[in-house]
Amino acid sequence: MAKTIDQYFDDLRETRVWRSIFRSGTGSSTLKRALAIQQNVFLHLFSTKVRTRMLSFSATWYLGTLTLGTFFILIATGIPLMLYYHPSAPQAYADTKDLQFVVSSGMFLRNLHRWSAHCMVFLVFAHMFKVFYRGAYRTPREFNWVIGVILLLMTLLLSYTGYLLPWDQLAYWAITVGSNIASAVPLMGNKIHFLLLGGNAVNANALLRFYVLHCMILPLAAMFFVAIHFWRIRKDGGLYSHSSEPAILRAKALTAETTAEEAQ
Amino acid sequence: MPDETKTANADSVNRRQFFAKLGLGSLGIAAAGTAAFAYQFLEPNVLYEPSPVVNAGKPDRYPLDSVTLDVNSAIYIIHSQEGYFSLSAVCTHLGCLTAWKPELNMIACPCHGSKFEREGKKIEGPAPKPLPWKRVWLNDDGDLLVDRSTDVPPLQRDSFVRV
């Protein structure tokens, strides 16, 4: 009797190598499926069980997941772009032109990076609107809303620092204007401006600082907060569902009681 | 006797607490040192920026009643009836480079629409302040020099250079 594809996969899952990596083993019992999530370093951030209706499009419009998707695209396109880009004043603009017109697929990668960045900003706002209007920020999820606000700031700072890197007139004046806004901070505004640019004007130091922030510091910080954000979804009782909120359940129970009393 | 020992220890620290405090204290000092170190490291000690003093050339390059913008040094050289003076061309709003509009007889910023008179006085916002006057003088060769790092009071006798 010929084996089905599923059976080949089951055989693979029984091999010693597979079992040494994924401990939970084969089988589709509730326990095994829960273990498969719980014993995976990436998936263990999420709940082991989710209501199927919470995975439907209408529950979340997948806005958070789509934001993560754009973030992955930005990492995947940003790293190859770094291979041709020198963050130095004489080279940065020429490298950007090379990426656009000389490097194979450079224009594709650069445009994909740019459009994903725009999409990510849009999706972050859409995600926050959805969470806000559904009331999903309320107790016990208020701390995760705070983490979300930090992630919004990370997204905007990533956009802002990336804006300087083409080193053209648009970038130069946008960062001149933007960094002057930082000077408006009371008392230490000028100090922040000086430290951010590494000088008094948008110069070679500023380009290098923005490059390091854009490619190193901010993405790492964003990943750190994304991990906390996902972990908190589980810790705060899973994705928000209006019908299973404690207050709603209590109200429902009360209504049921009253109806029962009236019937007597 | 045991009671006495207890009283003696009540407001003093035992060996374990002493070492815990010593450890936390040194960690605190180390953290403060690291913060100071990081701050000093992030602040550049040498800046490879252009000198604030600009040589604007011979004064006769600038005809009477003319306003000349030097894009690279972001200053105006203005030859008025009272003499030569220099204005910063950097908008006091958010740092854009302004431009002289001879047809309107005013200085205008392309970014957010601030407008200034030829003497730097603000005509309309969003700029919060007038364009500052910069110190001008003649060197021994008769060249007009401008110090972009020094502001001088506008329209004062000493703020002009007369040739």
The interface predicted TM-score (ipTM) is: 0.76
Write the residue in B44, B95, B96 that is nearest to A199 by C-beta: B44
Mean pLDDT of chain A: 90
Write the residue in B44, B48, B96 that is nearest to A177 by C-beta: B96
| Model pLDDT for residues B14-63, shown as the tens digit of each residue | 999 999 999 999 999 999 999 999 999 999 988 888 899 999 888 888 99
- Confidence band, pLDDT 50/70/90 cuts, at residue A190: very high
Q: Quick one: average pLDDT of B62-79?
A: 91
Judging contacts by C-beta atoms under 8 Å, the chain B residues touching residue A205 are 44, 47
**Cβ burial B67-97 (10 Å sphere, 16+ → b, else e):** bebeeebbbbbbbeeeebbbbbbbbbbbbbe
Q: Quick one: average pLDDT of B114-127?
A: 91
Instruction: Tell whether the model's pLDDT for residue B1 goes beyond 60.
Output: no
Instruction: Tell whether the model's pLDDT for residue B3 goes beyond 60.
Output: no
B48 CB near a chain A CB, below 8 Å?
A: yes
In contact, B78 and B84? CB cutoff 8 Å:
yes
Distance CA B70, CA A164 (A): 24
- Confidence band, pLDDT 50/70/90 cuts, at residue A250: confident
| Model pLDDT for residues A139-171, shown as the tens digit of each residue | 889 999 999 999 999 999 999 999 999 999 999
Judging contacts by C-beta atoms under 8 Å, the chain A residues touching residue B93 are 180
CATH of domain B53-159: 2.102.10.10
Question: Could you tell me the pTM of the whole model?
Answer: 0.84
Residues in A whose CB is inside 8 Å of some CB of B read 173, 176-177, 179-181, 194-195, 198-201, 203-205
pLDDT at B6: 54
Distance CA A85, CA A101 (A): 13
Distance CA B104, CA B98 (A): 14
pLDDT at A77: 96
pLDDT at B5: 53
Look up residue A122 and give its two tokens: 């849009």
Judging contacts by C-beta atoms under 8 Å, the chain A residues touching residue B96 are 173, 176-177
For residue B23, give how far its alpha carbon lies from the nearest alpha carbon of chain A (Å).
29
Look up residue A199 and give its two tokens: 């000088």
Instruction: Tell whether the model's pLDDT for residue A246 goes beyond 80.
Output: no
- Confidence band, pLDDT 50/70/90 cuts, at residue A225: very high
pLDDT at A10: 83
Q: Phi-psi bin for A56: left (phi > 0), alpha (psi -120 to 50), beta?
A: beta
pLDDT at B117: 92
A242-251, B70-79, B145-154: segment of lowest average pLDDT? A242-251
Instruction: Tell whether the model's pLDDT for residue A174 goes beyond 90.
Output: yes
- Nearest chain A Cα to B97, which residue? A173
| Model pLDDT for residues A86-142, shown as the tens digit of each residue | 999 999 999 999 999 999 999 999 999 999 999 999 999 999 999 999 888 988 899
* Terminal C-alpha separation, chain B: 98
pLDDT at A161: 96
Q: Quick one: average pLDDT of A228-250?
A: 81
pLDDT at A197: 94
| CB contact (8 A) between residue A205 and residue B111 | no
- Confidence band, pLDDT 50/70/90 cuts, at residue B2: low
| Cβ atoms within 10 Å, residue B136 | 24
Interface with A, mutate which of B39, B41, B49 (most A CBs under 10 A): B49
B47 CB near a chain A CB, below 8 Å?
A: yes
In what order do the strands lie in the sheet containing B106-108? B99-101, B106-108, B115-116, B122-124
pLDDT at A256: 81
| A200 SS3 class | coil
- Closest C-alpha to A51, from A238, A246, A256, A251: A238
Interface with B, mutate which of A173, A190, A217 (most B CBs under 10 A): A173
Instruction: Tell whether the model's pLDDT for residue B4 goes beyond 70.
Output: no
**C-alpha pair distances (Å), A224 with each of A119, A140, A163, A230:** 21, 21, 23, 10
Distance CA A40, CA A52 (A): 21
Judging contacts by C-beta atoms under 8 Å, the chain B residues touching residue A201 are 49
- Alpha carbon of residue B77 to chain centroid: 20
Judging contacts by C-beta atoms under 8 Å, the chain B residues touching residue A180 are 93-95
| Model pLDDT for residues A41-94, shown as the tens digit of each residue | 888 898 888 888 888 888 889 999 999 999 999 999 999 999 999 999 999 999
In contact, B112 and B94? CB cutoff 8 Å:
yes
Look up residue B133 and give its two tokens: 């006057």
Residue with tokens 């005809």: B63
